Structure 1
Amino acid sequence: MEEKIKYKILVTGGAGFIGSNLVDKLIEIGHTVVVVDNLSTGNADFLSPLALFYQQDIRDYKVLDMIFESHKFDYVFHLAAQISVPDSVKNPNKDAEINIMGTLNLLELCLKYGVKKLIFSSTGGAIYGDNAPIPTSEEYCPHPMSPYAISKLASEHYIRFFSDQYSLNYSILRYSNVYGPKQTPKGEAGVVAIFTEKMLNNEETYIYGDGEQVRDFIHVYDVVEANILSLQKGDKEVINISTNSKTTINELFNIMKKETEYNKFPIYKPQRAGDINVSLLSNDKAKIVLGWYPKLKLQEGVKNTIDWYRTSI
């Protein structure tokens, strides 16, 4: 049996929710992994002890340069970002500094040190806007409605520029609403993590808007698998990573209420600025280009997430 090639891989944001799950899988299959994370929202406790960790900021070009020079990475997974839509609305300058300038630093260093490929974590849940056809394919021109989504789209454009100008290889993965183990209700707050904490602690649970907003919830293990496949597939492609399955926030609430045996009703609050009403992404391209498809149904994934939270937090 042919031995699989092992690579030296950088994961930015590798102490975060998605990043730490990705690091675990990369190490499990035998790659050498270096993590750069400033721990602004990440958690060092989530990091594998087998990963080499630098607590650094992607905006610091000089430090990043030294890290690239020391390790000569084959591949870079870029997940480090300011990811809060409400925070981006409050402070668009900071959002752009992290998401755009940080990405440019990495692009320049990928070129300088001959990285084989950059795999970029983008957003499908925010980037397409409210008037997109449902389900939304990658062919639809995005209409971002928040500074966060704008900075992610700008980063995509810079990646394509570096590819066209300098032949840098890449895959851009646009995630729908990711949930799962290691997503905490603080910092990287996702609704599944927030509901989990509130329900298990029997606290009041808030829904912003009428709860009929449609989301496309995808489990982090499926997202990790898409990233792993992108090492060898999906070159110079933008790919939605999603379930192509509708769930309203009210439906999610009821699924989680049953799983946690929660006995309160939600409290409805005004919808937040920058939030979109409907997000449902086509995953046809991911199936064709990556040979990927989502494996975890929402009910199973929610149970997995709640079980993790009960034993780990």
Structure 2
Amino acid sequence: MKIVIIGSKGFIGRNVEKYFDEKGYEVWKADVVVDYADTDRYFLIDASNSDYNTVFHYQQYDLCINCSGAASVPDSLKNPMRDYYLNSVNVFKILSAINQFQPNCKFINLGSAAVYGNPKQLPVEEIAQPKPLSPYGFHKLQAEQICQEFYSFFKLKTCSLRIFSVYGVGLQKQLFWDLNQKAKSGDPFTLYGTGNESRDFIHVYDLARAIELVAQSSSFNADIINVGNGEEVSIKDAVSIFFEFFAGDIEYNFSGESREGDPLNWKADISKLKSFGYSSTVNMKQGLQEYYKWLYE
């Protein structure tokens, strides 16, 4: 299978590229990052005016995986236009190029569980009513609708993944990165929320495996698929597990105040993903130990 990964220089993109490369797939890459050392099978995208025609005009692919886009709820509240462009407009541009040059190429868009907002019940199924709490969530929902549009009107083979909380070696933002930054100071610190908020964490290696299974098993009829582990972990327990690897006691507390745009509790129904053969291979303690070693190796 010949694959092109859009957003190959990002945290998820790098890991997905490594996974598929090690599996023996022919992998091409595209991103806005200038990298003179990476010229083999790499397309440089103009960040100021993204154009994907070159990516699809001269090469034929079996599958395009879109790992690009903004991935910050707080930033989407500060810069909603930027978030809209990166998470919605670019998906339209990619699909337009696929439609023009190679309509048989399958397309997987990496979306987000942020489309759910605060689900009425857990585990949340793909059929639950989306209620985003942030521009980021709205724009990820719009990307799903764009995938549906190109499937419905142009018969492109599309699939949207609602990915829950991804972590792993190389991630330089979000919960565990922030915890490390705060812990390094040696001073007591305060975290948002009560600690009883919860997430469904998935290691980036398992995410890459899930993408491969989707590529092999999805009908690509504008499918929507939850990608998580189907396990609810409280933030206070996640913090506690991570800090087990640090020397000495780390003093922190929870403010009790929620941050705008953050959902309260998440747990994915992954019945559909499991039907493709998915099961987790990296438990949270193992994954966070690897992350800690990466931070301090």
TM-score of the two chains, using structure 1 as the length reference: 0.86
Report % sequence identity.
25
| SS class of match (2:9) | coil
CA contact (8 A) 2:192 2:258 kept: yes
Q: CA deviation at 1:73?
A: 2.5
Q: How does 1:1-313 map to 2 (within 5 A)?
A: 6-7=1-2, 9-39=3-33, 52-57=41-46, 60-61=49-50, 63-114=51-102, 115-124=104-113, 126-184=114-172, 189-199=173-183, 202=186, 205-235=189-219, 236=221, 237-269=223-255, 270-288=257-275, 290-311=276-297
Please give the alpha-carbon distance, in whole angstroms, between the structure 1 residues aligned to 2:179 and 2:117.
25
| SS class of match (1:305) | helix
How many residues in Structure 1 have an aligned counterpart in Structure 2? 293
Please give the alpha-carbon distance, in whole angstroms, between the structure 2 residues aligned to 1:247 and 1:214.
5
Please give the alpha-carbon distance, in whole angstroms, between the structure 1 residues aligned to 2:81 and 2:182.
32
Q: CA deviation at 1:197?
A: 4.2
Q: CA deviation at 1:234?
A: 1.2
Moved more, 207-216 or 257-266: 257-266
Q: Which amino acid aligns with 2:194?
A: D
| SS class of match (1:67) | helix
Structure 2 portions without partners, runs of 5+? none
CA contact (8 A) 1:17 1:182 kept: yes
Q: Which amino acid aligns with 1:222?
A: D
Cα deviation 1:224-258 (Å, max 9, x = unaligned): 00111222211222111111111111111111111
| SS class of match (1:127) | helix
Please give the alpha-carbon distance, in whole angstroms, between the structure 2 residues aligned to 1:51 and 1:233.
29
Change (3 A) 1:44 1:173: farther
| SS class of match (1:245) | coil
| SS class of match (1:232) | helix
Please give the alpha-carbon distance, in whole angstroms, between the structure 2 residues aligned to 1:174 and 1:98.
17
Structure 1 portions without partners, runs of 5+? 1-5
CA contact (8 A) 2:17 2:27 kept: yes
CA contact (8 A) 1:32 1:51 kept: no
Change (3 A) 1:106 1:196: same
Q: CA deviation at 1:71?
A: 2.0
CA contact (8 A) 1:76 1:117 kept: yes
Please give the alpha-carbon distance, in whole angstroms, between the structure 2 residues aligned to 1:85 and 1:265.
27
TM-score of the two chains, using structure 2 as the length reference: 0.91
Cα deviation 1:112-155 (Å, max 9, x = unaligned): 1224200110111x111114311101111111111001000111
Please give the alpha-carbon distance, in whole angstroms, between the structure 1 residues aligned to 2:155 and 2:48.
24
CA contact (8 A) 1:58 1:64 kept: no
